[in-house]
Amino acid sequence: MHIDQILDTIFPLPEAVKTSFKTYIREERIEKDKILLRADRIERKMYFVKKGIVRAYSFVEDKEITFWFGKEGDTVISMRSYVENEKGYETIEMLEDGELYSINTADLQELYKSNIHIANWGRKLIESELIKTEKRLISQLFQTATERYKELLTDTPHLLQRVSLGHIASYLGISQVSLSRIRSDFK
């Protein structure tokens, strides 16, 4: 996905502003299994996925718990580092070889101060991320694992071809055995 599409999906910017904004954005190739963001560090970059899949996870009692997948067009960020300038709680890794766009968050903060269009773009970005987080929380609290799996099939069916079943099971909050049972019910 091209950076223009990603930026415009978040909030359309005037062309001159977008051109100026893009001078701060770099393109990076990242190999599968590489860590983009680490837990317990203040992260200083924000990424946008051009090509590839990423996952966010945290350790709970020495077990990796996957709580988010990012795909083409998605923003990859440690929200705690970005908003509070504090150490993040998530690790984010590449699940495929990928191409990403990156921007230093310090540069982005300066752009917010100097351009109202980019400041509004940033506000819309955070609002969108908040809604995604809220939707995920409500899903975890009020849906069964089968309902969450059905929603995954409906909203992001491509994940099943691109992500290991172990990561999918972790994301759904169930064991791989339970996932196998649920999957067999859908066949």
pLDDT digits (tens, 9 = 90+) for 107-132: 999 999 999 999 999 999 999 999 99
The reported pLDDT for the residue numbered 186 is: 82
Q: What are phi and psi of 50, to 5 degrees?
A: -85, -45
| Rounded Cα gap, residues 7 and 21, in angstroms | 10
Q: With a threshold of 0.95, does the pTM exceed it?
A: no
* pLDDT value at residue 185: 87
Q: What pLDDT shows up at residue 122?
A: 97
**Same domain membership, residue 85 and residue 111:** yes
The predicted pLDDT at position 128 comes to: 96
Domain co-membership, 36 together with 79: yes
Q: Are residues 111 and 165 in the same domain?
A: no
- Measure the CA–CA gap between 151 and 116, rounded to whole angstroms: 37
Residues 104 and 27 in one domain: yes
CB 69 within 8 A of CB 159: yes
Specify the CATH number for the domain of residue 54. Answer: 2.60.120.10
In angstroms, the Cα distances linking 178 to 55, 93, 175, 183 are 21, 25, 5, 9
Total domain count, the chain? 2
Question: Are residues 30 and 90 both part of a single domain?
Answer: yes
pLDDT of residue 62: 86
Task: Tell me which residue range forms the domain holding 9.
Answer: 3-141
The pLDDT of residue 187 is above 80: no
Residue 92 and residue 55 share a domain: yes
